Amino acid sequence: MKFAFCLIKYFQYGGLQRDFTRIANVCLGRGHEIDVYSAIWQGDKLPGINVSILPTKGFANHIQRESFIKNLSELLARKNYHAVVGFNKMPGLHVYFAADPCFAEKAFSKSFFYRLTSRSKSNLRLEQAVFDKESFTQILSISNRQKDLYMKHYHTPSERFHMLPPGITKDRLIPPLTPETRNQMRKELGIDVNHRVILMVGTGYQRKGVDRAILALSSLPSPLREQTHLLVIGENKLGPYQRLAKKSGVSNHVIFLGGRTDVPRFLAISDILLHPARIENTGTVLIEAMASGLAVLATDICGYGFHIVQADAGKLIPSPFHQKMLNMILADALTSDKMARWQENGRKYIAKIDVFSLPEKAVDVIEQTAS
């Protein structure tokens, strides 16, 4: 069969983009053909896949997105695909991979005037095109919490949702390092082998709460703060966060590593994954961290946060978020005798559940929809 995959922006280190690539590769492995349509492509083209970059007009992001969708719709009308699969919300999709949170929930929590902006109207219109109860789009869902929100706002029939397991790749996991290798890697970063290492992973520092993590690090009691380091992996403009670290007196304890393809190496030398995200539909990195034997601290808005609770592998930071609460939870975790138990519990829990088959289950639904 021949599928059209639609993705507004592709870049190498995005979580959605990794899922997109894995789903596409499973399709290829099953003998299907794929044409990809995108507005922005940053990185190498994917082997075996034809990528077309469609032109857009306008300065604002939502206007460019509308332009892309208009051009895409005109193009698809002249094609004959077995299924059109979208990784962003847009009309005309047979299957939508629901990586983004429900915009209506955000819009209706704000003032009436917020919903009158052209950006909000665009987001709501595109979301309704996918989730309206009269739509035919099948939804690949990765968060029960978001599924409930979509059903609340759009009365989407439950049978159109297809829940997928967490999706991590086996190459994101490596066996525990020997003490010698672990110590050597820490020394290369200028970190004492006996100090605590906190890891953050994610592109988009504001969404992931890097500022919250820096403030929490700076709030630690002096002796503990001097023996704790924060590693930040992901792409973003560093200036504001470097200035915050300097202002907070912890610039020597925060290391920005940029976007990386060798994340497992840093999971292997860390003690805690900290993920105080403001917005997080799922949080695949939570699963990766647990599988790698890290304790996990995350905000309770993360879709995969329930795994932390079920595994007893760390703690959730409650909503509404308060910086003082995060400060307290982090300080307690770093000094708790529960740390070793959380780390072992996470590893054992992940070994018992399906965390690898997301792309295969997604392609099963695409094939069923197309047939």
- Check whether residue 118 and residue 133 sit in a common domain: yes
Same domain for 151 and 177: no
94 and 221, same domain (yes or no): no
| Number of domains observed in the structure of the chain | 2
Q: Are residues 85 and 175 in the same domain?
A: no
| 255 in the same domain as 175 | yes
Residue 9: per-residue pLDDT: 94
Closest CA to 300 of 311, 291, 309: 309
Q: In this structure, are 143 and 227 located in the same domain? A: no
Look at strands 228-233 and 196-201 and give their pairing.
parallel
> Torsions phi, psi of 75, nearest 5?
-70, -45
pLDDT at 27: 98
100 Cα distance to chain centroid = 9
Annotate 7-40 with DSSP letters as a single string.
Answer: -SEEETT-HHHHHHHHHHHHHHHTT-EEEEEESE
Tokens representing residue 336 in the block? 């708790």
Q: What is the pTM of this model?
A: 0.85
Long-range CB pairs of 329-337 (<8 Å, 24+ gap) are: 329/297, 330/198, 330/216, 330/217, 330/219, 330/220, 330/274, 330/297, 331/219, 331/220, 331/221, 331/224, 333/272, 333/295, 333/297, 334/196, 334/220, 334/224, 334/228, 334/272, 335/224
Range of the domain at 41: 2-165+356-370
Q: Do residues 42 and 71 share a domain?
A: yes
Give the CATH number for residue 284: 3.40.50.2000
- Mark whether 294 and 149 lie in a shared domain: no
Same domain? 264 vs 299? yes
> Are 99 and 7 in the same domain?
yes
| Chain center to CA of 371 | 30
Local confidence pLDDT in tens for the 371 residues of the chain: 999 999 999 987 778 888 999 999 999 999 999 999 999 999 888 899 999 999 999 889 999 999 999 999 999 999 999 999 999 999 999 999 999 999 999 999 999 999 999 999 999 999 999 999 999 999 999 988 899 999 999 999 999 999 999 888 777 676 777 888 888 999 999 999 999 999 999 989 999 999 999 999 999 999 999 999 999 999 899 999 999 999 999 999 999 999 998 898 899 999 999 999 999 988 999 999 999 999 999 999 998 999 999 999 999 999 999 999 999 999 999 999 999 999 999 999 998 999 889 999 999 999 999 98
Q: With H, G, I as helix, E, B as strand and everything else as coil, classify residue 260.
A: coil
Residues 155 and 248 in one domain: no
Amino acid at 221: P
- Both 174 and 262 in one domain: the answer is yes
